[in-house]
């Protein structure tokens, strides 16, 4: 069972565990009571019906959140995926966080709580996403990575992912993704990329690059 499971249940006593599924995943289902505030924005008091799926391969595979009470419209404007699952953050942000801390309760507070607070403000008060929002699909993921790498060009972002998919000694000999014209190892960009080496696997970065290149 995931670290933080007991803490999460203790803090959210209206949630319960369902029988383990055939694929080994654990399902938590029930209601969470939310009393949330941020800065000068309205305080929200809301009960939301929630389903959390914990895959057998967690944290190598992320948690899946679904709002099952009909409160959140199932559309892109509310960052709900076509299959009804919630888009809490970019895959890069999610997987990077999980590689450092796979605590279920931490994940819930780090990703679900900001998302649901922003959505409640949008639905109940007409306030658009207070923490900002990314575009949908590949566009949003590239926007997020551009911020991470401090770049503003899609090709540069993809080149960074390519560099992260290679061994450091090999990528450092290639021209830097930032477009400065010198080798990566001689540009400060290598310091930015080094922060992300080992956080996720070279195979994961390669797969993400291939996905975003389409």
Query: ∠ at Cα 202 (201, 205), nearest 5°?
Result: 90
Burial degree of 189 (CB within 10 A; 0-12, 13-18, 19+): buried
pLDDT at 123: 96
Domains and their CATH numbers in the chain: 5-125 (3.10.110), 137-212 (no CATH)
| Contact status, residue 144 vs residue 135, Cβ threshold 8 Å | no
For residues 61-88, b (16+ Cβ closer than 10 Å) or e, as one string? ebbbbbbeeebbeeeeebbbeeeebbbb
Written as six digits, the tokens of 89 are 């953050």
Phi, psi of 16 (to 5 degrees): -140, 155
pLDDT of 138 reads: 86
> Under 8 Å CB-to-CB from 121, ≥6 apart: which residues?
41, 42, 44, 127, 130
β-strand partners of 35:
45
pLDDT recorded at residue 1: 52
Query: What is the spatial distance between Cα 86 and Cα 64, in angstroms, rounded to a whole number?
Result: 7
What is the Cα–Cα distance from 134 to 56, expressed in whole angstroms?
29
What pLDDT shows up at residue 97? 92
State the pLDDT at residue 137: 80
Q: What pLDDT tens digit does each residue of the chain (214 aa) get? A: 567 889 999 999 999 999 988 888 999 999 999 999 999 999 999 999 999 999 999 988 999 999 999 999 999 999 999 999 999 999 999 999 999 899 999 999 999 999 999 999 999 999 999 888 777 788 889 999 999 999 989 999 999 999 999 999 999 999 999 999 999 999 999 999 999 998 999 999 999 999 999 8
Tokens for 20? 């383990």
pLDDT of residue 131: 87
Instruction: Label each residue of the chain as H, E or C.
Output: CCCCHHHHHHHCCCEEECCCCCCCCEEEEEEEEEEECCCCCCCEEEEEEEEEEECCCCCCCCCEEEECCCCCCCCHHHCECCCCEECCCCHHHHHHHHHHCCCHHHHHHHHHHHHHHHHHHHHHHCCCCCCCCCCCHHHHHHHHHHHHHCCCCHHHHHHHHHHHCCCHHHHCCCECCCCCCCEHHHCCHHHHHHCCECCECHHHHHHHHHHHCC
């Amino acid at each position: 069972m995931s670290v933080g499971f007991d803490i999460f249940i203790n803090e959210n006593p209206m949630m319960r565990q369902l029988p383990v599924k055939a694929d080994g995943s654990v399902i938590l289902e029930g209601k969470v009571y939310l009393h949330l505030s941020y800065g000068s924005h309205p305080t929200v008091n809301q009960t939301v019906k929630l389903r959390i799926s914990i895959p057998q391969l967690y944290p190598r595979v992320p948690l899946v959140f679904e709002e099952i009470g009909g409160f959140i419209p199932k559309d892109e404007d509310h960052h709900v995926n076509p299959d009804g699952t919630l888009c809490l953050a970019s895959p890069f942000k999610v997987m990077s966080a999980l590689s450092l801390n796979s605590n279920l309760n931490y994940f819930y507070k780090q990703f679900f709580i900001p998302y649901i607070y922003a959505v409640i403000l949008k639905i109940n008060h007409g306030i658009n996403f207070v923490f900002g929002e990314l575009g949908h699909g590949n566009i949003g993921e590239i926007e997020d990575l551009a911020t991470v790498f401090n770049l503003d060009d899609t090709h540069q972002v993809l080149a960074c992912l390519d560099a992260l998919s290679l061994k450091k000694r090999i990528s450092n000999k290639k021209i830097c993704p930032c477009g400065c014209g010198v080798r990566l190892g001689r540009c400060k960009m290598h310091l930015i990329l080094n922060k992300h080496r080992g956080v996720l696997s070279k195979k994961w970065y390669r797969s993400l690059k291939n996905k975003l290149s389409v």
